[in-house]
Amino acid sequence: LSKVTSAAQAYSSVIIIPINTDRFSMDGLELTIDSVISLNKKFGIDPDLKIVVNKFDARQKLGFEILSTISQGQYKDFLCENFIAIAKQIDNCIAAGQNIWNPKYKSLAQENMNKLLLELLGAEDWKSSKTYKTNYTNLPSFSEVTTNV
């Protein structure tokens, strides 16, 4: 890996490794984890590793095979529970110059990303807490705020 990538990994407390469900991603996953282990030994660092499955397509057998390999193999403790399913909405947002959080493009992709972000931030428990429900569920939506301006 490049010096910039190695430096970023050495100074990170969490390293998120996105993978697609294909064989090339599995090779890249092994190389990335080997690199992190090498940096661990060299600099005495111990970042949290998180593997994020991206563009998962439930129609493809290979995707399930790769998920099974990771979830039952040596990297199972690093695999995020939530994943990002393949979604045309993401491509449509990019083509339209919009972000995926735009209410006009509400989709499964938004829900996948939201769940993944909550997991990565450790906020899943917070969202289901009484504090969240009391303070944040009655907030106006984005469209309500922008139409009342």
Give the model's pLDDT for residue 124: 72
Token readout for 44 is 């005495």
CA dihedral 88, 91, 97, 100 (to 10 degrees): 60
Task: Give the per-residue pLDDT at 145.
Answer: 46
pLDDT at position 110 is 82
The pLDDT score that the predictor gives to residue 132 is: 52
Q: Can you give the pLDDT at residue 59?
A: 87
**Most distant CA pair in the chain, distance:** 56
pLDDT of residue 146: 47
Phi-psi region of 28 (alpha: psi -120 to 50; beta: other; left: phi over 0): alpha
Kindly list the averaged pLDDT for each block of 10 residues, start to end, along the chain of length 149: 80 90 88 88 87 89 88 91 86 83 73 89 72 52 49
What pLDDT does 97 receive?
A: 86
So what's the pLDDT on residue 149? 45
pTM, whole model, 2 decimals?
A: 0.74
Question: What burial class does residue 87 get, using C-beta atoms within 10 Å of its C-beta: 0-12 exposed, 13-18 middle, 19+ buried?
Answer: buried
Phi, psi of 79 (to 5 degrees): -75, 125
pLDDT at 78: 93
Q: For residue 115, give the H/E element and its range.
A: helix 108-121
What's residue 130's pLDDT? 59
Which residues pair with residue 16 across a beta bridge? 50
State the pLDDT at residue 144.
Answer: 52
Integer Cα distance of 41 and 43 in angstroms: 6
